[in-house]
Amino acid sequence: MGDKKSVQVGPKKYFLPEMYKKCYSQIYNFEARLDDLLLIGFPRSGTTLHSEMAWQIENGLDFETSEKVILTHRFPILDPKNPKLYHLNRSGNVSGIIGEMRQTIIKVANFLERALTEDQIEKLVDYLSIEKFKKNKSVNCEHLNDLGIASNEVTFIRSGKSGGWRKYFVGDLEREADEWIKENLKDTDLIFPED
């Protein structure tokens, strides 16, 4: 499905981008520290937004550095994807937290034991708004175009609403994707939620 190169990894043959070959030893030999922050979520569930939010809170709302350094260099990810969501290698979603952004920022700051002023909260709400987030080059994965992983056809950050994949998977395409998933995951223990 698609023309991007990938590799199958491990005894369960998980699909990862071909660039995985360059960094597999770092991932395999990763040693967690007590102060590491691990963010775990399903694809298209707002992990990009939460990663940027947590990084900003941990780094005192350092918008200047975040503008210069892409998010994946500031907050590394390991992201196996649902094959049905393949096209989303080129698009994105920040799920339902958009409407509750202020409360989510406060919860994350409390979890990280970081005090934010009302002014800082408002700045972060504005910075993370879907309109600005879509245009933020450090999070919208434009650099993946140069690597051949994504294309300019669709942006990584799209509407901030879940279920956007349904717009693309209609009729025979959804049936073909379901058959492809069934065939290619039959020898794995991967189970993906529908939404």
pLDDT (average), residues 127-138: 79
Instruction: Report, as an integer, the average pLDDT of 154-159.
Output: 60
> What pLDDT does 176 receive?
85
Exposed/middle/buried for 53, CB within 10 Å: 0-12, 13-18, 19+?
buried
Res. 103 pLDDT band, cuts 50 70 90: very high
1 inside domain: no
Mapped onto helix, strand or coil, the DSSP state of residue 186 is coil
**Beta-bridge mates of residue 7:** 16
- Domain span at residue 24 reads 6-185
> Would you state the pLDDT for residue 99?
60
Distance CA 57, CA 141 (A): 21
* Residue 79: pLDDT over 90: no
The proportion of the chain whose per-residue pLDDT surpasses 70, expressed as a percent, equals 68
Q: Which of 49, 24, 14 is nearest to 133 (CA)?
A: 49
Q: What is the CATH number of the domain that holds 113?
A: 3.40.50.300
Tell me: pLDDT of 186 over 90.
no
User: What are the tens digits of pLDDT across the range 112-128?
Assistant: 999 999 999 999 999 99
Q: Write down the pLDDT at residue 114.
A: 95
**Residues 128, 39: Cα–Cα separation, whole Å:** 17
For 45-60, the pLDDT digits (tens) are: 778 888 999 999 999 9
Q: For 57-66, what is the mean pLDDT?
A: 94
Domain count for the chain, please give it.
Answer: 1
Amino acid 147: pLDDT: 64
Quick one: pLDDT band at residue 2, thresholds 50, 70, 90? very low
Instruction: Give domain status of residue 13, yes or no.
Output: yes
Residue 191 in domain: no
Assigned domain for 195 exists: no
Residue 39 domain-assigned (yes or no): yes
- State the DSSP string of 8-64: EETTTTEEEETTHHHHHHHHHT----TT-------TTSSHHHHHHHHHHHHTTS-HH
pLDDT, mean over the chain: 76
- 151 domain-assigned: yes
Query: For position 102, what pLDDT does the model report?
Result: 93
CB 162 within 8 A of CB 195: yes
Task: Answer whether residue 190 is part of any domain.
Answer: no
Q: Is the pLDDT of residue 17 over 70?
A: yes
